[in-house]
């Protein structure tokens, strides 16, 4: 079994967070923008801790200034993902970075991204959807125009609404207005919770935002009653595994639905193939385990039934 060739579904990938450093460096050069502090000597992204990561992320993203830049980014990321066997990706996309959450500008950025995604699907067979994402540390007032961008473009490639950023800022419920607006527009909901925040952050995400998927969620392991609630309410976790004593296996054995993603792959020096290799090495996962998480991801994906049926065929075609 080649882990690289196994068909994979990825539900948690930040578009800018997947930007190859070489692409960002090249664009900075073209535009004569100095972002040298973003990189280490070996050319990879350089950050000390999570809050610094968010600031380096925003500095790297600052070179992406037009719809065409985002189309180039989308193409590069989908090519890389397809080369790791990914057949379906859900991107976190951010109107805040794409025209400052102005609906007219956002439509232009989105159009360019969608065109690139459609081309990649035709050429490489990788399907994708977008989850419009507000950024928690920008505050609840900034989230409202972002949610309006989401609501105005809901229905095609945009199928979800979510929140990323610094989980230690405020409460999940501070963003309820924006999540309500997105829900009323028919969007599916997710948020980052239980990555840096503990069980309280996860409880607030379920109670106050009424999301159906959690990004990360791994800190729930501290609270088994909450773990049981995730099982009862069929909440799916998108996990970026860090390897030492990672709770993914314990959560899965208890019955929580888990999926695997790379989040911001070049920042964390990973790929979907590498995640699969680690799961095989650390927990002894085999083809049947990988098939199970792909099926979980397929069930939890924010896409239509026809797309799911096509993806299910691709999973079925692959020998176990």
Closest contact distance (angstroms) between CB of 238 and Zn ion is 8
Give the nearer residue to Zn ion in terms of CB position, either 69 or 263.
Answer: 263
Q: Is 68 a catalytic residue?
A: no
Give the nearer residue to ligand HPA in terms of CB position, either 57 or 276.
Answer: 57
Closest contact distance (angstroms) between CB of 206 and Zn ion is 18
3-state per-residue secondary structure call for the chain: CCCCCCCEEEEEEECHHHCCHHHHHHHHHHCCCCCHHHECCCCCECCCCHHHHHHHHHHHHCCCCCHHHHHHHHHHHHHHHHCCCEEEEEEEECCCCCCCCCHHHHHHHHHHHHHHHHHHHHHHCCEEEEEEEEEHHHCHHHHHHHHHHHHHCECCCEEEEEEECCCCCCCHHHHHHHHHHHHHCCCEEEEEECCCCCHHHHHHHHHHHCCCEEEECHHHHHCHHHHHHHHHCCCEEEECCCCCCCCHHHHHHHCCEEEECCECCCCCCCCHHHHHHHHHHHHCCCHHHHHHHHHHHHHHCCCCHHHHHHHHHHHHHCCC
Binding site residues, Zn ion, CB under 5 A: 215, 263
Closest contact distance (angstroms) between CB of 168 and ligand HPA is 11
**From Zn ion, ligand HPA, none, interface partner of 7 (C-beta below 5 to 8 A by class):** none
Among 85, 99, 165, 197, binds ligand HPA (CB under 6 A): 165
Q: Does 14 bind ligand HPA (CB under 6 A)?
A: yes
Among 57, 88, 91, 157, binds ligand HPA (CB under 6 A): 57
Give the nearer residue to ligand HPA in terms of CB position, either 95 or 165.
Answer: 165
Among 182, 263, 276, 285, binds ligand HPA (CB under 6 A): 263
The residue from 195, 204, 233, 275 that is catalytic is 195
Among 192, 213, 246, 252, binds ligand HPA (CB under 6 A): 192
Binding track over 114-153 against ligand HPA, x by CB under 6 A: ----------------------------------------
Active site (catalytic) residues: 195
Could you list the residues that contact ligand HPA (CB under 6 A)?
Answer: 14, 17, 57, 164-165, 192, 195, 263-264
């Amino acid at each position: 079994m080649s882990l690289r060739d196994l068909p994979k579904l990825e539900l948690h990938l930040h578009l800018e967070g997947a930007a190859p450093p070489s692409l960002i460096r090249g664009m900075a050069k073209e535009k004569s923008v100095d972002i040298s502090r973003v990189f280490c000597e070996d050319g990879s992204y350089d950050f000390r801790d999570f809050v610094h990561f968010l600031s380096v992320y925003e500095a790297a993203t600052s070179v992406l200034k037009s719809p065409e830049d985002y189309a180039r980014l989308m193409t590069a990321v989908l090519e890389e993902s397809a080369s790791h066997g990914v057949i379906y990706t859900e991107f976190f996309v951010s109107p805040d970075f794409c025209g400052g959450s102005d609906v007219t500008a956002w439509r232009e950025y989105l159009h360019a991204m969608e065109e690139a995604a459609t081309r990649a699907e035709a050429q490489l067979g990788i399907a994708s959807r977008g989850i419009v994402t507000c950024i928690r540390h920008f505050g609840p007032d900034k989230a409202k125009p972002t949610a309006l961008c989401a609501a105005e473009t809901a229905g095609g490639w945009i199928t979800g609404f979510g929140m990323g950023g610094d989980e230690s800022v405020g409460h999940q419920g501070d963003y309820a207005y924006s999540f309500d607006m997105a829900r009323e527009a028919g969007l599916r909901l997710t948020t980052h919770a239980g990555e840096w925040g503990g069980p309280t952050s996860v409880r607030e995400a379920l109670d106050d935002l009424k999301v159906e998927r959690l990004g990360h969620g791994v800190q729930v392991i501290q609270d088994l009653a909450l773990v049981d609630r995730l099982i009862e309410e069929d909440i799916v976790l998108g996990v970026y595994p860090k390897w030492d004593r990672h709770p993914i296996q314990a959560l899965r054995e208890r019955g929580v639905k888990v999926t695997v993603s790379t989040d911001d792959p070049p920042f964390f020096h990973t790929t979907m193939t590498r995640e699969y290799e680690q799961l095989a090495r650390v927990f002894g996962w085999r083809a049947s385990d990988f098939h199970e998480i792909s099926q979980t991801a397929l069930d939890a994906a924010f896409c239509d039934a026809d797309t799911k049926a096509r993806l299910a065929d691709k999973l079925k075609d692959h020998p176990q």
